[in-house]
Structure 1
Amino acid sequence: MDNVPSLVDLCIQVAIDNVRYLGDVGETDFHLLERILPHCTLDQLMHIENNTKGRDLSPATDELWKKFYVRQFGIESANLVVERMGQKRVIFKWKQLYEAKLKDREEATQKSLDRIKKRYQEEDAKPEGFPNRFLFPRQYLCKSNTSLYSHVHRVIHDRRLQHHHKNSGRHLYVRR
């Protein structure tokens, strides 16, 4: 008889199996949420917190958000955040820290893309006889983003071939 699950355990298992359908968790006890919510994906957890009105779920979700933060941004970044909070004697919820870091990363990416776009526009604005030498500093491309790196170099190569094609009057085959 020791292996028979309790009614609460059965209900928790049903909630875990259907976590993708959860929204507002209302006044569900935190000790139950602490058993159910670790089975959520980041998007599911965000959905549950955004749909639960009038209740702070951070006592049950803060450690989950910290795990998502570490997974997305690395342990070094998380340790730096903890250190800075200690120095400034402030405490933030990990959900807020995750959202702020994500926003900062998106803004930095957008700024980089804007700089690249501006450089291309500057190159396009140069007179026809001016040598079209688009120099893209390699230090702006991190090795972890090899697809962007290869894409930029492929575009540069294609642009050089197009420039040569315009000036030579012959058709060139561009291999991709």
Structure 2
Amino acid sequence: MRSIDEEMIERKKNPSPPPSTLVELCVKKAIDDLKYLGDVGETDINILDSILSHCTIQQLAHIEESTKGRDLSQVTNKLWKRFYQSEFSVDNVNLVIERMRENNVSFKWKMLYYAKKKKDIEDAQEKSFQRMKELYKQEDERKQKRQIKICNEVAPSNKRSFFGGYGPSTTNTKSNILKKAKTQLLKSQEVKNLKALKMNTVHRNNCLPIRKPPLMNPGKSSAASSSNHGGPTKGRRLC
């Protein structure tokens, strides 16, 4: 076991931290519960500086809006400048400072932050709108190209027709083919046989005997015939 002297020497080498004050405990508790913090009332500026430096953008904006009758920009302005720099770069911060100096004006960084944010959103929306407009234009052009268009132009005569060869139209080609087929049909043996058969039929019809029509009185007709010719009349052939 260590002696009392050894323990006293060890304490002198590694002294324990002093106990936290009540204010420090309250600040720590407030930092842990920032999401529940609202109206800060008349809280001391130094205490607020220790607490609000841990806020997010949403928490800081909520506390400022909730605190009525008190301007917290003495503490929050530098915090908004920090947010502006972290989101829009150091160069933008320096540009804003230079412009305010040239125009001899001064604006709170909270207002500058939201103005810049709004402008960026509007620019992004405008770019998005232009992009959508371009896409709709391309889609309309694509649909126009796919539409069926009626063409009234006559095809040039030097183009090949449907049945082969070259010609002004397919109608003449069809007519020539039909004429050729008709000529071949007329020269065929079947047509010649039909013509010969028709001529033979007409010749036989012309060579049939001619018979006189019978008379109303058969007796007188027979007597007249016997007296004129001495006998009955025979049919005569024309050929």
TM-score scaled by length of structure 1: 0.70
2:77 and 2:142 mapped to 1: Cα distance? Answer: 57
SS of the residue aligned with 2:107? coil
Output the amino acid matched with 2:118.
K
Letter in 1 for 2:35: R
State the partner residue of 2:137.
122
What SS is found at the alignment partner of 1:97?
helix
Looking at structure 1, the residues matched to 142 and 51 of structure 2 have their Cα atoms a distance apart, in angstroms, of 64
The answer for the alignment partner of 2:34 in structure 1 is: 19
Partners of 2:24 and 2:144 in 1: CA distance = 76
Counterpart residue type for residue 15 of structure 1: A
Q: CA deviation at 1:129?
A: 5.1
Listed one character per residue, the Cα deviations across residues 4-41 of structure 1 (whole Å, up to 9, x for unaligned) are 22111111111111111101112212111011000111
Cα 1:41–1:127, aligned 2, differ >3 Å: closer, same or farther?
closer
Q: What is the CA–CA distance in structure 2 between the aligned matches of 1:41 and 1:81, rounded to whole Å?
A: 23
Number of the residue aligned with 1:36: 51
TM-align CA RMSD: 1.7
Per-residue deviation, residues 57-90 of structure 1 (Å, max 9, x unmatched): 1001111111100000000000000111111111
Structure 1 or 2: larger helix share? Answer: 1
Aligned with 1:128: secondary structure?
helix
Partner of 1:112: 127
Letter in 2 for 1:21: Y
Q: How far did 1:2 drift?
A: 6.3
Corresponding letter in the other structure for 1:89: N
**Secondary structure of the structure 2 residue equivalent to 1:39:** coil
Partner SS state of residue 24, structure 1: coil
Residue 52 of structure 1 deviates from its aligned partner by 1.4
1:84 maps to 2:99: yes
Unaligned runs of 5+ in 2: 1-15, 147-239
For residues 72-109 of structure 1, give each alpha carbon's deviation from its aligned partner in whole angstroms, at most 9, with x where no partner exists.
00000000001111111111111111000000000000
Cα distance in structure 1, aligned partners of 2:23 and 2:133: 60
Give 1:125 deviation, angstroms: 2.0
- Which structure has the greater CA radius of gyration? 2
Q: Partner of 1:8 in structure 2? A: 23
Q: Secondary structure at the match of 2:18?
A: coil
Matched length: 131
Q: How does 1:39-118 map to 2 (within 5 A)?
A: 39-118=54-133
1:159 maps to what in 2?
A: none
Residue 127 of structure 1 and its aligned partner are, at CA, apart by 5.6
Partner of 1:156: none
Greater RCO (CA < 8 Å, at least 6 residues apart): 1
